[in-house]
Amino acid sequence: MVDLGRAVTYETARVRLSREMPRGAVRKLLTDHAEYGGWELLRLRRYRDGTRDVWIRRKVIKVDTRSATLNPASGPGPQLFG
């Protein structure tokens, strides 16, 4: 395993949900964020009045442009026969 000495960076977002939103709708919303946006649940807090605060996060992937090389002849996808 190679240790590159880089810390993992996360992007976080806070979502406030009203008390009128049913549990099933909250579950669907969070599942869609996780499936299609790459988010994961960090914290969920429910208050006495029924409102919910949800903190979600996802990894930030940084590309090192100094070491990345582009080969325009290779095309957009992998070469199967080359």
- Predicted confidence (pLDDT) per residue in 1-15, tens digit: 555 666 889 999 999
Domain assignment of residue 1, yes or no:
no
Domain assignment of residue 4, yes or no:
no
Domain assignment of residue 68, yes or no:
no
Domain assignment of residue 24, yes or no:
yes
Phi/psi region, residue 38 (left: phi>0; alpha: psi -120 to 50; beta: rest), is left
Query: What's the rounded Cα separation, in Å, for the pair 71 and 82?
Result: 14
Domain assignment of residue 28, yes or no:
yes
- Predicted confidence (pLDDT) per residue in 30-64, tens digit: 999 999 999 999 999 999 999 999 999 999 887 77
Domain assignment of residue 23, yes or no:
yes
Domain count, the chain: 1
Model's pTM, two decimal places? 0.64
Q: Which residues sit opposite 14 in a β-bridge?
A: 55
Domain ranges, residue 35: 10-61
Domain assignment of residue 32, yes or no:
yes
Q: Phi, psi (5° rounding) for residue 44?
A: -130, 130
Query: What's the rounded Cα separation, in Å, for the pair 65 and 28?
Result: 37
Length reported for the chain: 82
